[in-house]
Structure 1
Amino acid sequence: MKVLNGISVAVVVTLVPQALLGELLKALLPIFPAGQNIINLVGLTSSLLPVIIGMMVAVEFKLTPIQTAVVAISSVLGSGVATAQGDGSFLLKGTGLVINSGVTAALAVGLVLFIGTKLRSYTILLLATLTILTVGSIGAFVTYPAVKVFTIWLGKLINGTTELQPIFMGIILAALFSVLIVSPVSTVGIATAIFMEGVSSGTANLGCVAAGMTLMVAGWKANGFANSIIHIVGSPKVQMANMFAHPRCLIPIVLHAAILGGIGGAFQVTGSAISAGFGLSGLAGPLAALNHEGWGWSAGNIAIVLLCWVILPFILAVIFTRIFEKIGWTQPEYYALRFT
């Protein structure tokens, strides 16, 4: 759980700027060319994900600064984010392999804790070298190839199946992500790790939208305006404790997500690996769909996006909230947020 929590924090810190600004600025480039500079900055930020994964995992284990730096380096070595060039330089591209970054960081933490204070005054000289030589090599040359093959296979399986069966897979992916978005697991981390793309990403994003919209509507009486819209502009994860306390509240969310995912699959809504787990936050989902190859900002596509990301989610949220309140399975107090 500490490793997963560290990865989740790292994913949010490094990928949120790109999700919030990247897609928006791409759409504004024709009238704001200088936005390309910001796109480049947030792109570089996302490529620093392996570094931050190592740092955040180390923080979870309360390691010293030297130990934290060693774990961060190991995470980068196991990520594959940097490729050696013939002239001695390195090409930094993408986010690397998220799963293997976490695996390598975990191995590095294990070695660091095992060594402890055994090196004494030689710690600053030997700890990094020993860890890079052992854990770095394992992450880069042993686990990386295996994890890469598995994650690419899984991503292709999900993306390919969704292309063949968009409605059926849309239902499954949306329902799954609607539950994950209110759990400790990072939806963005999963989508990025398995390279979700196209319709699989779009329908998964709709699952997050369904969760956020349902929680906003269902808890409106208990939370008021400010705490209600946080489910949309922020994240539905603020309801994690309430979902564990009242698991029946997940039923209207999952039903809503399944219907919305099926409709999204029918419309072939799309997205990117980064947008899949964000829902409506920063308009990441709608903008990723409109900016995706093969789509574009036509009147028809804009209408589909408004229907799938705003109109239907709100209508379905109201319907399922009233149904489950009427049968006595849920009530507004179950969704009350208490931040003080």
Structure 2
Amino acid sequence: MKKVWQRIYRRYLLDALSAMGQGLFASLIIGLILGQLGRIPGLGFLATFTTDAYISGSATPVVGAAIGVAIAYGLKVHPLCIFACAASGAIGYTQGGPVGAYLAGVFAAEAGGFVAGKTRVDIIVIPATTIIVGGAVSTLCAPGINSVMAALREFIDWATLLSPIPMGIIVSVVVGLALTAPISSAALCAMIFTVPEGETAGLGLMLAAGAATAGCCAQMVGFAVTSFRENGWGGLISQGLGTSMIQISNILAHPAILIPPTLASAITGPLCTTVFQMKNLGSSAGMGTSGLVGQVGTWAVMAADTPAWLLIINMALTQLILPAVLSLLFAAVLRRMGWIKPGDMKLPEYKK
């Protein structure tokens, strides 16, 4: 039984959710980046691309299609099943948002994979089964999904406004750890912080998403600076602009190295919900400094009602400077205590 649960966890929480994050990045997140770049004089055509491709809205089926294909690819199913999951994911995303696309993609991929090779007419049976199952799951689950996610968003909104410091700590630490763990924090944030089209996001929800962004930044920037002596500039860039997930093998061997960036996130998170009032929404809240997506998302949400100079300063403080300084301080203490030793954060590609 234990092996069964381990397989379920690995297949549907690690593989499928991580693949979903890639699908989100290749559609919605890159659309957000291009849309913001399109505001620069002379680059307006980029914004036109995102509009024409329907990758700039929260209810666009194109994002769902990308999620469906990514999940099917991550689950390593038959090629025909992968292609058909574009339709299943689109149905799921349109009816139930990111969670709907995830469920539709998973069930559709498994159904298509199950019938693959069972008949001589795979070219008909596999796509038909994939789309029918994905559509059925989406139609049946969408009402419940929407109700649960709406209730969750309302709770986070209410709890953050009522207790901004504890919620800032919890959200920042949890989402930051999800980013470093082998699951997709972007997919997690897309599920929680994506507001359906036509619905207005509450202030508490946006502040919680801002804390999530800070938590992800703390992990990435924290590992980048604390491991600089071991990994140099290459490690600084790969972790600071890539992902702190590449430290996972070192974390398993030396868990203490996770403490400095996590403590930093526990400080920057509540600062974002109280002092700096940092906001974000959607999947960009779970990206941190990866490709500067977290900063692009923060800018998109806050630029309309915050002076540009103040927003830049606040982002620099909460998402870069404070995480770096705090992580270095905590790491220095742990090194003095002997909890962190030289080479504990050495990445494999930099080992001689």
TM surpasses 0.5: yes
**1:333 aligns to 2:343 (yes or no):** yes
Give 3-state SS (helix, strand or coil) of 2:176's partner: helix
**1:157 aligns to 2:168 (yes or no):** no
Shift of the alpha carbon at 1:337? 1.3
What percentage of aligned pairs have identical amino acids? 25
Residue pair 2:116, 2:126 contacting (<8 A) in 1 also: no
Q: 1:227 to 1:291 in 2, by over 3 A?
A: same
Shift of the alpha carbon at 1:313? 1.8
Residue equivalent to 1:84: none
Note the aligned Cα RMSD (angstroms). Answer: 2.5
Post-superposition Cα deviations, 1:196-249, rounded to whole Å, max 9, x if no partner, equal 551111111000111112101211111011222222222212212222222222
Distance 1:34 1:13 in 2: 19
**1:320 aligns to 2:334 (yes or no):** no
Residue equivalent to 1:85: none
Distance 1:262 1:276 in 2: 15
What letter corresponds to residue 339 of structure 2 in structure 1? W
Q: 1:248 to 1:262 in 2, by over 3 A?
A: same
2:25 maps to which of 4, 8, 12: 12
Q: 1:110 to 1:291 in 2, by over 3 A?
A: closer
Residue pair 1:219, 1:332 contacting (<8 A) in 2 also: no
Distance 1:138 1:201 in 2: 32
Shift of the alpha carbon at 1:314? 2.0
Q: 1:193 to 1:324 in 2, by over 3 A?
A: same
2:257 maps to which of 249, 253, 263: 249
What letter corresponds to residue 325 of structure 1 in structure 2? R
Shift of the alpha carbon at 1:155? 2.1
Residue pair 2:81, 2:130 contacting (<8 A) in 1 also: no
Residue pair 1:202, 1:285 contacting (<8 A) in 2 also: no
After TM superposition, list the pairs within 5 Å mapping 1:279-318 onto structure 2: 279-293=288-302, 295-318=305-328
Distance 2:167 2:347 in 1: 33
Structure 2 length as normaliser, TM-score?
Answer: 0.82
What letter corresponds to residue 316 of structure 1 in structure 2? L
Shift of the alpha carbon at 1:78? 2.1
Shift of the alpha carbon at 1:98? 1.7
**1:63 aligns to 2:72 (yes or no):** no
Q: 1:338 to 1:202 in 2, by over 3 A?
A: same
In the alignment, structure 2 segments of 5+ residues that lack a partner are 1-10, 195-204
What letter corresponds to residue 241 of structure 1 in structure 2? S
Post-superposition Cα deviations, 1:315-337, rounded to whole Å, max 9, x if no partner, equal 21221111111111113412111
Q: 1:290 to 1:114 in 2, by over 3 A?
A: closer
**1:220 aligns to 2:228 (yes or no):** yes
Residue pair 2:207, 2:279 contacting (<8 A) in 1 also: yes
Shift of the alpha carbon at 1:37? 2.2
Post-superposition Cα deviations, 1:275-306, rounded to whole Å, max 9, x if no partner, equal 20121233333343344256323443433222
**1:191 aligns to 2:189 (yes or no):** yes
1:262 maps to which of 227, 248, 270: 270
Q: 1:249 to 1:112 in 2, by over 3 A?
A: same
Q: 1:126 to 1:307 in 2, by over 3 A?
A: closer
Shift of the alpha carbon at 1:35? 4.7
2:86 maps to which of 72, 83, 88: 72
Distance 1:144 1:114 in 2: 24
Distance 1:212 1:32 in 2: 30
Residue pair 2:63, 2:93 contacting (<8 A) in 1 also: no
Q: 1:123 to 1:284 in 2, by over 3 A?
A: closer
Residue equivalent to 2:201: none
Shift of the alpha carbon at 1:263? 1.3
Q: 1:245 to 1:22 in 2, by over 3 A?
A: farther
Residue equivalent to 1:106: 106
What letter corresponds to residue 232 of structure 1 in structure 2? G
Post-superposition Cα deviations, 1:90-132, rounded to whole Å, max 9, x if no partner, equal xxxxxx6222222122222332233232322x22233333443
Q: 1:126 to 1:181 in 2, by over 3 A?
A: closer
Which of 54-63 and 166-175 deviates more? 54-63
What letter corresponds to residue 341 of structure 2 in structure 1? Q
Q: 1:68 to 1:305 in 2, by over 3 A?
A: closer
Shift of the alpha carbon at 1:173? 0.9
Q: 1:200 to 1:24 in 2, by over 3 A?
A: farther
Residue pair 1:173, 1:204 contacting (<8 A) in 2 also: yes
Structure 1 length as normaliser, TM-score?
Answer: 0.84
Give 3-state SS (helix, strand or coil) of 1:80's partner: helix
Shift of the alpha carbon at 1:45? 7.2
2:219 maps to which of 211, 215, 234: 211
What letter corresponds to residue 164 of structure 1 in structure 2? L
What letter corresponds to residue 75 of structure 1 in structure 2? G
Distance 1:290 1:18 in 2: 14
In the alignment, structure 1 segments of 5+ residues that lack a partner are 82-95
Give 3-state SS (helix, strand or coil) of 1:194's partner: helix
Which of 263-272 and 47-56 deviates more? 47-56
1:37 maps to which of 34, 48, 64: 48
Shift of the alpha carbon at 1:38? 4.6
Residue equivalent to 1:117: 117
Distance 2:294 2:114 in 1: 43
